[in-house]
Amino acid sequence: MAQACAKEMQKQKSGSIINIASIAAIKGFPGLSHYCASKGGMVAMSKVMAVELSPLGIRVNVINPGAIDTPGASNASMTDDQEKAILAPIPMKRQGKAEEVANAVLFLASDESSYMTGSTMVVDGGWVAVEASREVAGAVNAILRRNAVAGAAGSRRVAPRPRRSVDEPRRGIAPEFGAPAVAVDVGAGAGGRVVYGLGAICARERPHPGYR
């Protein structure tokens, strides 16, 4: 279908293709490897399409819905406990509405998103955000526990080596938080840094002088 649409859009040198995937593209669901793989493939395919079709004036983006209240979902026979289990990890504590996904489609189809292509929009009530924050918190806690053990053993930290690999964590002070932090490069080309503080994240567009 995307190929057929692209041929017509090419004639007018403009167009917007919106593919619907799922948060299963970026989150693992036990027992649904086939579903997760297919949705992940759709996201990857859409990124390739965005690069290939951009010279033709065609934008390609993806929407990853979470738990959405659709006729198919409503017909599924679930117990109250099962329904509560589904809503438990969602910060908004409800399923999304089909209209809310449609609104995201309208945005990506309009000129309001004219500088967006190859992007993935998540419409999930915060489900993926919660999982991400838990992972970051776990990583930060592991670092703090390791440092505490090292301190108890009487070890001392030495000055950082002059040269480090791009992916190697660097210790420093996050001025926004006034607390020890670990800076990890998110892209050498972009020169960006993600700073993991004490349970907080600071995404920088430019590296702090202390992390160069």
Asked whether 2 and 49 are in contact (CB, 8 A), the reply is: yes
Token representation of residue 130: 């919660």
Shortest CA distance to 202 belongs to which of 189, 183, 190? 183
Give the Cα separation of 137 and 139 in Å (integer). Answer: 5
- Residues 28-59 as b or e (16 or more Cβ within 10 Å = b): eeeeeeeebeebbebbeebbebbeebeeeebb
- Annotated catalytic, 35? yes
Distance CA 18, CA 100 (A): 15
Helix (H, G, I), strand (E, B) or coil at 60: strand
| Relative orientation angle of helices 2-12 and 33-53, to the nearest 10 degrees | 20
Catalytic residue numbers read 35
